Structure 1
Amino acid sequence: MRILINTATTFKGGGVQVANSFIKECRNYPENEYHVILGSALGKSLDRASFPDNFHFYDIPFRPATRVFSLKPIASFFDAIEAKAKPDVVFTTSGPSYWRPKAPHLTGYNLPHYIYPESPFFAALSPIGRLKWYFKGAFIIYFFKKGSDAYVVQTDDVNTRLRKLLGTDKVATVSNTCSTYYYDPATFPDRLPARKEGEFRMLTLSAWYPHKNLSVIPKVVDSLEPAIKDRVRFVVTLPEDVYEQHFEERYRQYVLNVGVVPMEQGPSLYKECDAMFLPTLLECFSASYAEAMAMEKPILTSDMGFAHTIC
């Protein structure tokens, strides 16, 4: 079988990890021929030399979402690759693709904003902000419906909600999990300073996105009684400039930043901490839940539908 894997719309966050993992797992099925369109983030991180000859890679020079209203059609780039690869099926790892291939098209759905309208995330927005999300959602839903034959999601809760949103029963659930690094963890030098007596560390292994709700951490610190506050440490994994922008000097003794952590070093950082803290307000799937379970750490998270269905 010839399979065209499209990751062009994947440029940050968990979508990159999902695409990366899927492509690597395809090596276990050598009977197929794989043609892979790489988004910019994935193109920089993927070790192409580690793939056999039945893999063919194509770098896309732009993000499809930025070309929707361009005079130069998005389709011309994709159509040329499809004509060359002649795939039996196309799989877009994270849609919408903004392109309709001739071959049957399976699309991954990873956008929680449009299926969890009850999230407190929206209540915190201004009326103009909510209106923007509404129109953006209508735009994206249109492209999902127009460009795909079937959809794949990571939890049954998302499956139920997406069927209702798109008015289709062609939605399948393929459960996700944590990286294989968590099943055979390597040892790395400690990133955190020496632990104080009685110190309790909560790890948030995440980038800074508004829906992750990391801005609640200083509010939690402020709410703690002095005797408890001195024992609690939040551990975040942010670029230093982002950390300094969002955490004032007075909070930095309680919120420790170790910087961006490579995937293979995640288990080692979990071992230095006592629990996983994820105050997120919107998810389709978060590997943090599975990671914490694999590392046998307690989970402190938001009481939301996606958290229940994953955990």
Structure 2
Amino acid sequence: MKIIINAANLHIGGGVQVASSFIFELSELLKSQRNTDDISVLCSEKVYQNLPLDFDKRVFTQFDILNTYGLGQPSVQVKDKFNGFDVCFTVFGPLYFTPKVKKHICGFAQAWIAYPDNVAYQKLPFKEWLKNKIKFNVQSLFFRRYDHLVVEQMHVKEALGKIGYADKNISVASNCVSAIYDDRNQWITLDFNVSQLTNDVVLGFIGRPYSHKNIRILNQVNEILVSKFQMNCDFIFTFTETEMQQCGFANKDNFYSVGEISTKQCPAFYDLLDALVFPSLLECFSASPIEAMKMNTTVIASNYPFVKEVCDDAAFYFDPLSADEIAIAIFNAFSNNELREEKKRLGSQLVNALPTAKDRAISYLNIIKGSL
């Protein structure tokens, strides 16, 4: 079987982490077992940069680093690299052109499509609402064309079924914590002066400040913590300077950013935190709460199924639409050390019971091989 793994379209966010983890785990599987398949990889520069130091690309038939972007059509030479395979597996789509392959399998992680009536839409200005509606309707047309979709949680498969996607053409492969969290030799330190942090409690968020992440509400949360609870906290993010300004964080003395970070720097980021605050309104799955628990960091998060189905009783929960509730959840978490430690213990147990990165790679490979 000739297989092409496509991660050339992934440049930011969790998709880069999943792709780099999968490609590495796949390379390890190919080293450890007799393989009769012809497996090639196309990956973006960002994905390549996030691969572990001991990654060996020689186990693949072909390994190319190239970048494809959005609706922009790649050159004929680039398109040719996708053609002639039995199966193309795009780790996360959509891919905006049609490779000449027998089967095209695509990872799906677009919650805006799975949940078209989500609360995040209600918070958008009309122009942005309209732009998103058009964008995700176009994306949905592409997703419906693939032979098979792979989602990260059962609730996403069920949601897609409700809007007309064929159930038999959707598989679930659970997300997980990257193997890098178990290998301290891979960790890279942050270029951040810790002495800037002057408060007893350090809260943080990892990722990009997309509108559905609901990050700007932390401006109000900070004010409530100070005025109502006399609780002074430092907040740390992984945003660019422009993003900090857009969120209204740039001029706040207790709001900091370490800048954009790589997968190898994520453990160091969680190590800075007393708690991850995760006020997202919409996800298919987010790895950050379970990554935080892996790093023994308290999780304070939205009381929505995409978090609670994974974190269960190991997190503190709030209504993400209420700054007061978020502040209360933070205050309660740090007012009860015994309960906070118990939740961290539960989180550690939960993470250890999850599928591993190797398990996920095996699941992907089984889906690919079972497609013909």
With the length of structure 2 as denominator, give the TM-score of the two structures: 0.72
The alpha carbon displacement at 1:93 in A equals 0.9
Q: Give the distance between the partners of 2:113 and 2:2, measured in 1 at CA.
A: 32
Any conservation in 2 of the 1:192–1:258 contact (CA below 8 Å)? Answer: no
Any conservation in 1 of the 2:234–2:255 contact (CA below 8 Å)? Answer: yes
Give a deviation string over 1:238-281, Cα, whole Å, max 9, x none: 22343244335652x22222223332232233233211111112
Q: 1:96 aligns with which of 94, 97, 110?
A: 94
Q: Give the distance between the partners of 2:65 and 2:196, measured in 1 at CA.
A: 44
The alpha carbon displacement at 1:77 in A equals 4.7
Q: Give the distance between the partners of 1:136 and 1:45, measured in 2 at CA.
A: 28
How many residues align? The count is 300
- Name the aligned partner's letter for residue 34 of structure 1: I
Question: Secondary structure, in 3 states, of the residue corresponding to 2:236?
Answer: strand
- CA RMSD across the alignment: 2.8
Q: 1:193 aligns with which of 189, 192, 195?
A: 195
Task: Kindly indicate whether residue 130 of structure 2 is the aligned counterpart of residue 131 of structure 1.
Answer: yes
Question: Secondary structure, in 3 states, of the residue corresponding to 1:259?
Answer: coil
The 5 Å alignment of 1:156-305 reads: 156-169=154-167, 170-185=169-184, 188=189, 191-193=193-195, 196=198, 199-226=200-227, 228-248=229-249, 250-251=251-252, 253-305=253-305
Structure 1 stretch displaced more, 287-296 or 183-192: 183-192
The 5 Å alignment of 1:97-116 reads: 97-98=95-96, 99-116=98-115
1:201–1:131 Cα change, 3 Å: same
Stretches of structure 2 lacking an aligned partner (at least 5 in a row): 312-372
Q: Give the distance between the partners of 2:195 and 2:259, measured in 1 at CA.
A: 14
1:196–1:12 Cα change, 3 Å: closer
Stretches of structure 1 lacking an aligned partner (at least 5 in a row): 68-73
Corresponding residue for residue 70 of structure 1: none
Q: Give the distance between the partners of 1:279 and 1:202, measured in 2 at CA.
A: 12
1:75–1:249 Cα change, 3 Å: closer
The alpha carbon displacement at 1:176 in A equals 0.9
Any conservation in 2 of the 1:203–1:277 contact (CA below 8 Å)? Answer: yes
- Name the aligned partner's letter for residue 151 of structure 2: V
1:285–1:269 Cα change, 3 Å: same
Give the helix-richer structure, 1 or 2: 2
Question: Secondary structure, in 3 states, of the residue corresponding to 1:66?
Answer: coil
Q: Give the distance between the partners of 1:257 and 1:75, measured in 2 at CA.
A: 37
How many percent identity over aligned positions?
27
The 5 Å alignment of 1:65-104 reads: 65-67=71-73, 76-77=76-77, 80-83=80-83, 86-98=84-96, 99-104=98-103
Any conservation in 1 of the 2:104–2:147 contact (CA below 8 Å)? Answer: yes
Give a deviation string over 1:262-310, Cα, whole Å, max 9, x none: 3223223323321111111221221101111212222111222211223
The alpha carbon displacement at 1:79 in A equals 5.3
Q: Give the distance between the partners of 1:232 and 1:215, measured in 2 at CA.
A: 16
- Name the aligned partner's letter for residue 246 of structure 1: C
With the length of structure 1 as denominator, give the TM-score of the two structures: 0.84
Corresponding residue for residue 40 of structure 2: 35
Q: Give the distance between the partners of 2:165 and 2:81, measured in 1 at CA.
A: 31
1:296–1:95 Cα change, 3 Å: same
Any conservation in 1 of the 2:50–2:264 contact (CA below 8 Å)? Answer: no
Question: Secondary structure, in 3 states, of the residue corresponding to 1:52?
Answer: helix
Corresponding residue for residue 71 of structure 1: none
1:54–1:100 Cα change, 3 Å: closer
Q: Give the distance between the partners of 2:39 and 2:284, measured in 1 at CA.
A: 27
Question: Secondary structure, in 3 states, of the residue corresponding to 2:81?
Answer: helix
1:286–1:246 Cα change, 3 Å: same
Q: 1:63 aligns with which of 48, 69, 92?
A: 69
